[in-house]
Every structure is written in C-alpha cells, then in structure tokens.
Amino acid sequence: MIDIHAHILYCGDDGAASSEETLKMGEEFAKTGVTHVFATPHFIRGTLEIAPERIIALTEEYNCLLKSQNINLTILPGMEVEICHEIPGLYKEGKLLTLNNMGKHLLIELPFHFLPPFTDQVLYELKLLGITPILAHPERNHVLCHNPEPLWEMVHKGVLVQVNGGSLLGFFGSRVKKRALSLIKSNLVHFIAGDAHRAYGERGPCLHLVHPILIKAVGEEKAEVLLKYNPKAILEGKNVLKWEPKQPKTGLARFFHR
C-alpha cells in the first residue's frame, strides 16, 4: 500500500517527536504492508513554515537510515498546507511542496470548525496554476460533516478528496465515521490515507485495519482504488480514477425525501 498523508518526519510539527520515532513509525508502516509513505508535515502560514528543501533533504536522510536498518519503506516528500488566501502566491514563490515534488497535487487542510469564505477561490486559483488540490479529511470539518453540499460542489469542480483511515475506524467519533462512509458511498472520496502522527495506537499506521472495513462497505474493487490504485497514481504522476459524484442528501433533503 501507499499512504499519501503521514507526519512521519521529525521536523517540528505535531508528528514524530524524535528521530527514533520517525524510524519506529517507518518500521510500523513496513510491518503493516505500506511500501511508500508521503511525508506531509503541516505548513501553517506565519506559524509553522517548513521549507520544501528541508523536507526533501530530511526525506533523503531518513530513507538512508531506513535502508541501513533493512526497513522496506520509502518516504516521499510532501506537505499538508493549512488553507489561507495566500496559498497561490506562496506556491508561486516556491514555498509550498506538492506531493512527491511533481507540481501536480497539493494536500490542503481545512480548519476543523468552519469553512473559510475564500476556500473556493483558493482552490480555483490553484487549478489555474495547474495544481489539483487534494482536501485532507473533510469529514473532520464540522461544517462539511453536517452538510457535505459544498464538498460536492468542490469535487464537481475537480478537487480530489482524502478521508482518514482513523475516521473509518471510529477514532474521531461516530458522526465522523458515518459521514466518512457516506462521502465514500456518494463518490466524493478518491483516497484513504492514514494521517499517522505516532508509531502506535490510534494515531499510528492504520490502513491495514481499514482494508476489511472498506471491502465490507463498498466492495473489493472500490476499496482497491481508494487504498491502492489512486495513491499509486499520485506517486507515478498519473490520473486518478474518479466516479460521478452523487449529490449527498443533507438533513433538509432527507426531510423532503420522506
């Protein structure tokens, strides 16, 4: 498996808290069947700005260490960028890192409690720059968890969506789990990723636990695409597989459908 979202690098964000933890996480990823993991440290404008060059250098350094310990895992460079209206400008200035530094996909995080009014504009401007935004765990955003209609509009305009494995395992509550499953069934999700912050426990590598749940919920074929085919497409810079998004039923729509 390939995991496109992980805080595996010891680099000052809230992920691995030491070099040892980076290596322990690497070991756990390999043990759970992950062969490639994208290191996606948080980039928060004005608060936590890690340079792309540093992420690339750390990735190379830890790949050498993993190899020397016979751990079968390759770390690829990336970044998880908290949405702000400066994103297109920051990208043009070379301050943001696309997945695998291929200039194609940028992992974007929304705040948990609201949907910023400039969200659409930023995603649109990125598309104009040739970048496809991948929204990280929108099921954890309170607004989209209650009403996924804006997400449907974003997907319709070409935004890709990544749901967290931990959401499907119920680690963020039953409402988030239910929403994650309903987004997948509505064809609004293109990847499942781990978003691991630790080596063990609920924030550790989890995709091996998600696989059977996903097969049961949506069948083997779709599970394969979400967990394997599409993450591999990102790694290889190819097009991801998409399905026609179904308009989700909001609380109001469900009322009128009774």
Residue 5 CB, nearest distance to Fe ion (Å)?
Answer: 6
Near Fe ion in 182-211, by CB under 5 A: 195
Is the four-CA dihedral 176, 110, 191, 150 of positive or negative sign?
A: positive
Which residue lies nearer to Fe ion by CB, 28 or 195? 195
Exposure string of 128-162, with b = 16+ CB inside 10 Å and e = fewer, is eeebbbbbbbbbbbebbbebbeebbebbeeebbbb
- Distance between CA atoms of residues 11 and 58, nearest Å: 8
Residue 220 CB, nearest distance to Fe ion (Å)?
Answer: 27
Which residue lies nearer to Fe ion by CB, 187 or 227? 227
Near Fe ion in 120-149, by CB under 5 A: none
3-state helix, strand, coil in the chain (%, to 5): 45, 15, 40
Which residue lies nearer to Fe ion by CB, 111 or 224? 111
Closest Cα partner for 28 from 196, 171, 195? 196
Which residue lies nearer to Fe ion by CB, 42 or 222? 42
Number of residues binding to Fe ion, judged by CB under 5 A: 2
Residue 59 CB, nearest distance to Fe ion (Å)?
Answer: 16
Residue 67 CB, nearest distance to Fe ion (Å)?
Answer: 25
Strands lying side by side in the sheet with 105-109: 42-43, 80-82, 105-109, 132-136, 160-164, 191-193
Determine the longest span between alpha carbons in the chain, in angstroms.
61
Residue 221 CB, nearest distance to Fe ion (Å)?
Answer: 27
Residue 250 CB, nearest distance to Fe ion (Å)?
Answer: 27
Residue nearest to Fe ion (CB): 195
Q: Per-residue string for binding with Fe ion, 143-182, x by CB under 5 A? A: ----------------------------------------
Which residue lies nearer to Fe ion by CB, 3 or 80? 80
- For residue 108, the cross-strand partners are 81, 135
Amino acid at 161: V
Which residue lies nearer to Fe ion by CB, 28 or 248? 28
Near Fe ion in 69-128, by CB under 5 A: 80
Residue 65 CB, nearest distance to Fe ion (Å)?
Answer: 22
- Distance between CA atoms of residues 219 and 162, nearest Å: 18
Which residue lies nearer to Fe ion by CB, 11 or 187? 11
Which two tokens mark 27? 């070991």
Near Fe ion in 18-77, by CB under 5 A: none
Task: Give the residues lining the site for Fe ion (CB under 5 A).
Answer: 80, 195
